Structure 1
Amino acid sequence: MIKHKSTSMRGVLLAGVMLMCSTGISLAQSAEPQATAIPLDDLSAFQNPGKSWQIAGGVTAELDDENELETVEGKGVLVNEPSRRNKGKDLVTNAEYGDMDLELDYMMAKGSNSGVYLQGRYEVQLEDSWGVKTPTSANNGAIYERWDESKPNGQKGYQGYAPRQNVSRAPGLWQNLKISFQAPRFDASGKKIENAKILRATLNGVVIHENVELFGPTRGAMGNNEVAAGPLRLQGDHGAVAFRNIKITEYGKPRPELVNLEYKVYKGRFEAEPKYDSIPPEAEGTSVALTSEISPFPNDFLVRYTGTLRVKEPGEYTFNLSTGGGRGLMKINNKTVIPNGGRNQRGTVTLPAGDMPFELIYSKLVEWGRPSLGLAVVGPGIREYVIGDKAQGGNNDQGLSWCMRP
C-alpha cells in the first residue's frame, strides 16, 4: 500500500477561463451573468461628452468623401463627427469595469480611424481597413502597440498585435466586435501580480485574437498606471465613427473556493460508489486543487475528494464535470448536484454564502481513455473558470476549451 502526502501537483489549472464549445458541454443559461446595455437615448452615460458626439436614430457614410457621416434624427446610435469647428475628444463612460465581455456594433466613415480603450488603457483599433491584405497592429481589430519615447526611431512602438486576418467590412457597413477582457490582478499591497489579457476577440464572427497578454497600457492610454477597474473609452479625436448596441457583461464577483481539500485513492474498477469503510485506500493526502494525477495507477482506480466549498456570493451556480475515461459524482452540502454518470455532466444548484461540505468522486474505468478530471464553475457575476486538469477525455482528446458565446 502506498501512503503519501501531497501539497502540489503537476499539470494543475488553478484557474482557467474556459467555456464548453461544440466538443464539450453547454452551460445553463440561467447561471450566466447577464449583459447590460449602455443606454443611447442621450449622452448621460458618459463623462463630459464633447460637441462632436451626438445621439441619432440612424447613420450612413458618404463614400465619396473621407470622414463624412450623415445622420437622421432619433435615438439608439452614438455618432462622432469631429471637424475643425468641433474638435473631437474621447468619450469616457461614467461606470468603471474590471473583468468584462464587451460587444458592440460600429460603422467607420471612409478613411476614418477610432478605437476602443478597455479600462481607458488598452486599445483595440478601429479603422477603415477595407481592402488591406496584410493587417498590422495599426489596422482594424488590432491591439494597438505600446510606446517608448526613449527608444530610437523605428523602435518606439512595440508589443502591438495584428488581427489574425483582415475581416473588415467596407466603410458604411455595420461591423460587430466582441471582446472578452480579463483585468490585471493586484495583491493586497497594490502590486500587480498578473497582467491584463484579451482572452478572446471576434470581429464580424471571426476570431482575431485569443489569450493575448497585455504587459502594460497601449499608446494613447488615459494613464500609464494600471488599475483593477476603469472606464470604457471610445476614441473621438481621429475620425468619424458610429456605435450602437453597446453591451457589457461584468464579472466582478468573488469565485467559490475549495479549501481543506483531501483525497483518497482506491484501486479497482468501480461502476458505483463503494462502501469506503470496507476498503483501504492505496494513497491519501492533501491537495491544492482537483487533479487526476494524484493516482499512482493509470487505470481502474477511484479518487475521492472531500473538503469545503467556500461561497462568498450567493446565487445559482452551474458545475460542469468532465471525467476522462470514466465517470464522476459531486455533492455539495451533503446533497447530490451531479449524479454518478458519464464523462461529461452538468448540475445547477442555488447556494447560500458560507462554507459547506464538498465531495467529488472520479472513477477511471476505460482502459484506453486518458485520465483527466476537470470541474468548471460559473455563477452570478463570475466568469467561468476551471479547477483541475485540462479535462481531456478519451482517445479523442476532447478537452475543455474557451469560447465566446455567439
Structure 2
Amino acid sequence: MVVDLQFEFTNRQRKKKMIFNKRHSNKQLCICFAIVGICSLSYIAISVASKITEYKSGYVWNKPKVVTPGKENSAPPSDAIVLFDGKDLSQWKNGENWIVKEGYATANKTGITTKKSFGDCQLHIEWASPKKVEGDGQGRGNSGVYFMGKYEVQILDSYKNKTYHDGQAGSVYKQTPPLVNACRPPGEWQTYDILFTAPRFDKAGNVTQKAAFTVLHNGVVVQNHFVLKGGTFWHKPAEYEAHAEKLPLSLQYHRNPVRFRNIWIRELSPIKGTLPKK
C-alpha cells in the first residue's frame, strides 16, 4: 500500500514537472518569436530609412541680413527709419503745424505727410485719444494712418463709444471692422503694429496684386492679412487707382487733438533665391 502511494505521488510530481517544463518552453518560445519579430522590424526600418533621402528645395538663397532688435519690442530695430522720436517732426511735411512737447506730438491744423515714400512696410505707431471725452461716434478721438496716402487704418476712441463697425479703431475704414475691439480707455497710450503690402499695377494700370493689411492693436490681431477692395474714400466705394510703387505715409487731422509718439517704419522686400538649371 505504501509502495502504491509513493508511486502515485511520484507520478503526480512527474506530471507537474512536465506541465511546468511545457509552459516554460512555450514562454521561452514566445520570447524568441518576439525577439525575432523586433529584429525583423528593425531591419526593415533600417533598410527603408537607408533608401529615404532628405528633400531639398534646390534654391540658392541670399543670406538674410542681421537686424538687431530694440531693447524692447516697441523700440526701433537697427534697420528702422525713425519718423518721430519725441523731439521733432523734421521727417514730415507740415510737421511744424503740430504741437511737440514732452515726447509726443499732438495733431493740429492739418494732416502731416512723410517726406520719404514707402511701399511694402512694417509700421509701429503709438497714439492716445484725449483723456477728456468730448463728442461721440466719429467725433471722438478721430484720426487715421494713410499708407501711400490712400489706404487707411482708422484711429478712433472706440472705448464704450458706439459708431459704425467699419469705422471704429483698427478698422480698414469703410471696408472691414476689426476682428475685435482692443481699445484702451481714453487718454491711455495705444499701439498699432501694421504690416502693409502695397498693390501692384501693370503698365495699363490694371491691378495685378491687391493691397493687404495685418494689424495688431495693443498686441492683439485685429486685421489678419485683409485684402483691400481699393483705396479709402468717404464719399464713394473703395476702388483702385493706379499709382507709383512707393508713396508717402500720412497722419490725418480730424479736428481732434490726438497725440502720437514713437513712430518708426521698416521697408520690406522679399528675400531672393535662384533655382540653378539642371
Under a length normalisation based on structure 2, what TM-score does the superposition of the two structures give?
0.62
Instruction: Specify every segment of 5 or more residues in structure 1 that has no aligned partner in the other structure, as ranges.
Output: 1-26, 58-75, 82-87, 146-159, 263-406
User: Does the alignment pair 1:238 with 2:265?
Assistant: no
Selected match of 2:230 from 216, 227, 230: 216
**Cross-structure match for 2:93:** 47
Q: Distance in 2 between matches of 1:96 and 1:133?
A: 35
Please state how far the C-alpha of 1:89 moved relative to its aligned partner. Answer: 1.7
Q: Distance in 1 between matches of 2:224 and 2:277?
A: 32
Measured against aligned partners, the alpha-carbon deviations of 1:27-76 in whole angstroms (never above 9, x if no partner) come to 9756997222113422321113463x12111xxxxxxxxxxxxxxxxxx3
2:160 alignment partner, SS class: coil
**Cross-structure match for 1:37:** 82
- Evaluate the alpha carbon distance shift between residue 29 and residue 91 of structure 1 in structure 2; reply closer, same or farther with a 3 A threshold: closer
Selected match of 1:79 from 87, 103, 106: 106
- Evaluate the alpha carbon distance shift between residue 134 and residue 167 of structure 1 in structure 2; reply closer, same or farther with a 3 A threshold: farther
- Evaluate the alpha carbon distance shift between residue 236 and residue 228 of structure 1 in structure 2; reply closer, same or farther with a 3 A threshold: same
**Cross-structure match for 1:105:** 126
Please state how far the C-alpha of 1:184 moved relative to its aligned partner. Answer: 1.0
Q: Distance in 2 between matches of 1:231 and 1:193?
A: 21
Q: Distance in 1 between matches of 2:277 and 2:224?
A: 32
2:165 alignment partner, SS class: coil
Measured against aligned partners, the alpha-carbon deviations of 1:295-343 in whole angstroms (never above 9, x if no partner) come to xxxxxxxxxxxxxxxxxxxxxxxxxxxxxxxxxxxxxxxxxxxxxxxxx
- Is the 1:217–1:226 contact (alpha carbons within 8 Å) kept by the matching residues of 2? no
**Cross-structure match for 2:159:** 130
Query: Bigger relative contact order, structure 1 or 2, given CA contacts below 8 A and separation 6+?
Result: 2
Please state how far the C-alpha of 1:238 moved relative to its aligned partner. Answer: 3.3
1:43 partner amino acid:
L
User: Does the alignment pair 1:250 with 2:264?
Assistant: no
Q: Distance in 2 between matches of 1:50 and 1:30?
A: 32
Which structure has the greater CA radius of gyration? Answer: 2
Under a length normalisation based on structure 1, what TM-score does the superposition of the two structures give?
0.44
Please state how far the C-alpha of 1:225 moved relative to its aligned partner. Answer: 4.2
1:137 alignment partner, SS class: helix
Superposition CA RMSD, Å: 2.9
2:176 alignment partner, SS class: coil
Q: Where does structure 1 differ by over 6 angstroms across 4 or more consecutive aligned residues?
A: none
Q: Distance in 2 between matches of 1:226 and 1:195?
A: 12
User: Does the alignment pair 1:227 with 2:241?
Assistant: no
Please state how far the C-alpha of 1:236 moved relative to its aligned partner. Answer: 0.7
User: Does the alignment pair 1:201 with 2:218?
Assistant: no
2:258 partner amino acid:
V
Selected match of 1:89 from 99, 110, 113: 110
**Cross-structure match for 1:21:** none
Instruction: Specify every segment of 5 or more residues in structure 2 that has no aligned partner in the other structure, as ranges.
Output: 1-64, 70-76, 134-139
1:55 alignment partner, SS class: strand
